[in-house]
Amino acid sequence: MKKWLMMLVTVMIGFIVLAGCSNDDAASGDGKVEITYGFWDKKQVPAIDEIIKSFNEKYPDIKVKTEITPYGQYFQKLETAATGSALPDVMWMNGAHVNQYADGKVILPLTDLAKKDNYSLDNYPESLIELYTVNEDIYGIPKDLDTTGLWYNKKIFDEAGVPYPDDTWDWDKLKEVAKKLTNKEKGIWGYAALMGNQGGYYDFIWQNGGYIISEDGKSVGFDQPEAIEALKYNVSFIEEGLSPTQAQMTETAASELFSSGKIAMMFDGPWMVPEYKKNPDVDVAVVPKGKQRAVAIHGLANVIAANTKHKDAAWKFVQFLGSKEAAEIFAATGTVIPAYNGTQDAWKQAVPTINLQAFIDGIEYSVPLPSVKSTGEIWQYEIDVLKKAWSEEVSVEDAVKELTKKANESLSNE
């Protein structure tokens, strides 16, 4: 009998423990609701905490729980969570994934909610609203934006007696200066020809008059002459020894080489400001022009899960995240350029030692990152195929042939 009692008790305890795991439901009494906010950037935690605090002054009954997942796993986790209906109520979204999520009916269209509350979308740059509009519906409220600038190391320029980059620069000038600044003995490269699409070959392709995805969304433009020329221009820096090789840049990140003064110039985004401002020799200018001026623009948005249990609370929070007040908090911390029109100046003043105006100037002639349902797949093919051109294994012409074939296949499967 005693044994049976013991057994029973053990089993009971087991059940209680198991039940305890699944019993943290959101309804925590007193009419309070709890919503979760999923995002990936640890650097923005202080700003987000502050925003939640002022949100709670207005809505004390909505508790916001944050959930950080590193970028590397963020979308894998969302995908699994979406399959199991366990998405955070409110979460960050980027342009590469919004089509896929909107199409899969995983995130909530906000058009009707915005209309009902008279929420104006005119407060954000048009290119970003365009980015988050899928089939005439808006799915995300823009949170921040980023363009690309030409970062440079003033010390290397001074030592070589070369004037700093400005808005008159074009492709030829960039190459010419890269040649002057490359110093094999000191281990200094003039330019880092990164293999990245945003702030890399996409920008060059647009500057040269090319396109990434055709208007009808059925084919990619990598094999067009303008694109080939732009990609070749990129690779030529490596061929001529003005840039670290692809192998060197995968072993040691170019941003690290730049921070430690081994690279004179490179393209990078405003998200690197907190890192690069540690080096007093570093400044930034607008990217050089090709046949025309162009720079990629991208921005994150806050979206709501389609199956959220607290739709109203989530929408209130998203509205607040998109408000001028929240934008000003982001601006003051200097981490990202807030998307709310007119708050960008405050961001610029957060780090007065660097010419952050260069990023804001770019907005004017910016091109939104192309976004289709299979963007993720195409990006993977770009990495797989273009790296062979970057490491000079195959010619640019052969690489774009393979890439175009694979990418067009994904587009036709959509």
Interface residues toward other proteins, by CB under 8 A: 7, 76, 79, 82-83, 100-101, 103-104, 106, 195, 246-248, 250-252, 373, 376-377, 380, 383, 387-388, 391, 393
Q: Which residues contact 317 (CB under 8 A, 6 or more apart)?
A: 35, 37, 55, 59, 62, 64, 89, 90
Q: How far is the CB of 263 from other proteins (least distance, A)?
A: 13
Q: How far is the CB of 58 from other proteins (least distance, A)?
A: 34
Q: How far is the CB of 137 from other proteins (least distance, A)?
A: 17
Closest CB to other proteins among residues 144, 377 = 377
Q: How far is the CB of 46 from other proteins (least distance, A)?
A: 27
Closest CB to other proteins among residues 27, 86 = 86
Closest CB to other proteins among residues 92, 320 = 92
- Report helix, strand or coil for 137: strand
Closest CB to other proteins among residues 39, 101 = 101
Helix boundaries (H) for 252-335: 254-259, 273-276, 311-321, 324-333
The single residue listed with the structure tokens 């980027």 is 94
In a 13 Å sphere around the CA of 390, the CA atoms on its Cβ side amount to 23
Closest CB to other proteins among residues 106, 318 = 106
Closest CB to other proteins among residues 175, 406 = 406
The answer to whether residues 321 and 51 touch, using CB atoms and an 8 Å cutoff, is: yes
Q: How far is the CB of 171 from other proteins (least distance, A)?
A: 24
Q: How far is the CB of 163 from other proteins (least distance, A)?
A: 30
Closest CB to other proteins among residues 262, 298 = 262
d(CA 129, CA 21): 40
d(CA 343, CA 361): 14
Rounded to the nearest 10 degrees, what angle do helices 375-390 and 225-239 cross at? 50
What is the largest distance, in Å, between two alpha-carbon atoms of the chain? 93
DSSP letters for 59-70: -TTEEEEEEE--
Q: How far is the CB of 189 from other proteins (least distance, A)?
A: 11
d(CA 397, CA 226): 12
